[in-house]
Amino acid sequence: METARNKPMVSIVSINYDQPVVTCEMLDSLRKVTYPNFETIIVENGSPTKKPDQIRDNYPEAKLIISKENLGFAGGNNIGLKEVKGDYILLLNNDTEVPADFLDSMVDLMESNAEIGIVSPKIYYFHEKNVLQYAGTSPIDPITSRGRHYGNKEVDTGQFDEVTETYYPHGACMMFRKSILEELGLLYEGYFLYYEEYDFTERVRKAGYKIYFQPNSYILHKESISTGKNSPLKTYYLNRNRLLFLRRNVEGLTFYLAMAYFFIISFPKNTLKYLFNKEHLSALYRGVSWNIINFNIHKNQQL
């Protein structure tokens, strides 16, 4: 107990949406975690068919919060964020599994430098042994909106084993200070799905904090269980939110250049790509149309 009192508390927040079995697998791995001072909050995000009874019945150590409707990644997490008690908060996808010591080195890094605002660990693909998904990122080009995850689909041979400052965390597992929420507010709920962590990171960076990659910690990620790898839902939100991200975070001449690039190059290219796929084409056009008719996009919800 003395050890727990001497360690900062970590609040782990995760969303369940119609995947109680997957969430239980994550909770099984969290039961093995050796860090002595953490809480787990699961937000049941309006699942349409599968009740979260097995989560409630089998994992009493996790606080289960029920939302009657699906509020998306940001909205669901915000419900949990309003209940956290920790000094640090970890947003963790439910489609992940973690090793026993994954919290320790992330907390140690945060404790070592008050200028660090967000930390993400190495992320491996769950179903591909030792294959990386994330080892830090490049900046997103403000005009093309393109960037990349370092290490993605590479076999890990130790090439990303240095603790480094990076540009963006990974939304599947990102730790940040609770004080940042008190200072900057909650996740912006207008995205619903995709780009939320990039938007939040831009606000954190503009407030003077640094983003770090911690390779001494890792998680395993069962990517795209929720939406599918090439679903129309994904097409809709990726295109809608790409524009929304630019509108919220890019200004001046760069903004107009970015809009020109999107509508002269990206939008026609994607139209041709989906020309013979009506569902994806419709999703693309609806995503763009959403930005044309929605103007109130800058207000952030406070903690």
Residue at which a domain ends, from 221, 248, 277: 221
Please give the pLDDT value at position 225.
42
Residue at which a domain ends, from 221, 249, 268: 221
Whether 112 is covered by a domain: the verdict is yes
Residue at which a domain ends, from 160, 190, 221: 221
Please give the pLDDT value at position 227.
47
- Same domain? For 270 and 189 the reply is no
Contact by Cβ (8 Å): 262, 231: no
| C-alpha span between 118 and 111 (Å, rounded) | 12
Whether 260 is covered by a domain: the verdict is yes
CATH code at position 122: 3.90.550.60
The two beta strands, 164-165 and 210-221, are antiparallel
| pTM exceeds 0.85 | yes
For the CA atoms of 137, 143, 145, 151, what is the dihedral angle to 10 degrees? Answer: -30
- Same domain? For 169 and 51 the reply is yes
Please give the pLDDT value at position 3.
67
Look up the domain containing 168 and give its range. Answer: 2-221
Whether 303 is covered by a domain: the verdict is no
- Same domain? For 151 and 272 the reply is no
- Same domain? For 126 and 200 the reply is yes
H or E stretch including 252?
helix 252-261
Q: Give me the tens of pLDDT residue by residue for the chain, a chain 303 residues long.
A: 456 678 999 999 999 999 999 999 999 999 999 999 999 999 999 999 999 999 999 999 999 999 999 999 999 999 999 999 999 999 999 999 999 999 999 999 999 999 999 999 999 999 999 999 999 999 888 898 888 899 999 999 999 999 999 999 999 999 999 999 999 999 999 999 899 999 999 999 999 999 999 999 999 999 754 445 678 999 999 999 999 999 999 999 999 999 999 999 999 999 999 999 999 999 999 999 999 999 889 888 887
Residue 226 half-sphere exposure toward CB, CA atoms < 13 A: 22
Whether 300 is covered by a domain: the verdict is no
- Same domain? For 216 and 245 the reply is no
List, as one string, the DSSP characters of 17-41. Answer: SS-HHHHHHHHHHHTT---SSEEEE
- Same domain? For 153 and 261 the reply is no
- Same domain? For 76 and 215 the reply is yes
Residue partners of 285: CB distance under 8 A and separation at least 6? none
- Same domain? For 68 and 159 the reply is yes
Please give the pLDDT value at position 300.
87
Whether 299 is covered by a domain: the verdict is no
Tokens matching residue 208: 């003077």
- Same domain? For 170 and 259 the reply is no
Whether 302 is covered by a domain: the verdict is no
- Same domain? For 178 and 277 the reply is no
Q: How far is CA 231 from CA 10, 125, 190, 289, in A?
A: 34, 20, 20, 19
Whether 227 is covered by a domain: the verdict is no
Count how many domains the chain has: 2
Whether 172 is covered by a domain: the verdict is yes
Please give the pLDDT value at position 226.
45
- Same domain? For 157 and 280 the reply is no
- Same domain? For 260 and 115 the reply is no
